[in-house]
Every structure is written in C-alpha cells, then in structure tokens.
Amino acid sequence: VLDSQYGMYVWPCAVVLAQYLWVHRSSLPGKRVLEIGAGVSLPGVVAAKCGAEVTLSDSEELPRCLRNCRRSCLANRLPHIPVLGLTWGRVSPELLALAPIDIILGSDVFFDPKDFEDILTTIYFLLEKNPHAQFWTTYQVRSADWSIEALLCKWKLKSIHVPLHSFGADKEHLGSSSLPGRHTIEMMIISLARSDGT
C-alpha cells in the first residue's frame, strides 16, 4: 500500500525529468531553480549537482515530505539547499519572498485533478514575477479524461511538448517502475503566453 504522502517515493517522472536536466546540464550553472512538490527531490538534486542554485519545496502540510527533501540534500552532500513549505494555490510569505527564478521543476505534480488549478495558479504567480522563467514538468498519463489545456488557457499559459526521445528518456529502464499502474510519461515546458495568445 502506497503511503498517502506520495513524496516518499522516487516516481518514474522524477527519473525522466532528471534525465532532461542531465542532458541540458551545460545550461544549468548559475540558473536559479525551484522544484515544487519535490518529495525525494531527485530533479532538484541533479540540478544542484550540475551547478544550479536550487530551492526545494513541498507542501507545508506534509512535514514528512519536507524532512525527506532535507535528507536527500544531506545524502547528496548539499546541506546548503533551502527547503521551503509551499502549498499549491496558497499565497504565503515564503512564496512572496522567493528570489527570482529561471526554471521551475515539477515531476508528477499533475497527479490528482483536484490539485491541477492550484498548481497552475502557483505556476502563473511565479511566471508573472519571473516572465522569462519556464516550468519544466513531467507527468504520468493516468487517464485520457485528465487534461490541463483549459486551465492553461484560463491562466494565459502555453505549453510545448518535449518528446522523450529528444533527450534519451524513451528507454524503458528510465520511465518504468515496480509501482502499480501504467507508466506512460510525457514532458512539457510551460511558460507565459504572449499577449497575442502565442
């Protein structure tokens, strides 16, 4: 039985996003990166190891996940990485005080449809503060009925699909898992739509 705090596991999406970061590692030194819903923080740790200035976050309501983030940092000799409690859809002093960001990471944050709008509200807030930033996200296709397209339009965001083969993540050993369910992984980059709708 899976723990109700999903951030206690390395999910296949985290491995795929970490692969994307690794392939693009030469662009990461000095970039300011925030991982949301970090859980065990694999993408954020990889970004930090590649020279990015990383901040990790997970819900302030999930102290075990926040402890897990800190443990991952210590295990990877990254004790200086800040770990913040940020809850999607909630404007908090921590969210308001965030330094400028270049890249937001999120692996498998689009898990439960009831959270989709809260996630995109938070992403929109961060992108409005950092208009040149991008949200790099991987997600597992769990249902054909789940879509964020309408929410992207509502929040004036656009997405670009990133084919897994373009960064060597189409190998079964990267996106597979012993956890139950289908494991079709997709990646997209979300950014602010321009005023002309593109």
- Reported as a single tens digit per residue, the pLDDT across 14-70 is 999 999 999 999 999 999 999 999 988 999 999 999 999 999 999 888 888 888 889
* Domains of the chain (ranges, CATH numbers): 25-192 (3.40.50.150)
What is the pLDDT, as a whole number, of residue 97? 93
DSSP letter for each residue of 124-163: HHHHHHSTT-EEEEEEEE--TT---HHHHHHTTEEEEE--
Cβ atoms of 139 and 186 within 8 Å: the answer is yes
Q: Residue holding tokens 């409005």?
A: 128
Quick: pLDDT tens for 133-186.
Answer: 999 999 887 776 777 888 999 999 999 999 988 988 876 655 554 444 446 888
Tens-place pLDDT, residues 72-130: 999 999 999 999 999 999 999 999 999 999 999 999 898 888 899 999 999 999 999 99
Q: List beta partners, residue 83.
A: 56
- The pTM (predicted TM-score) of the whole model is 0.88
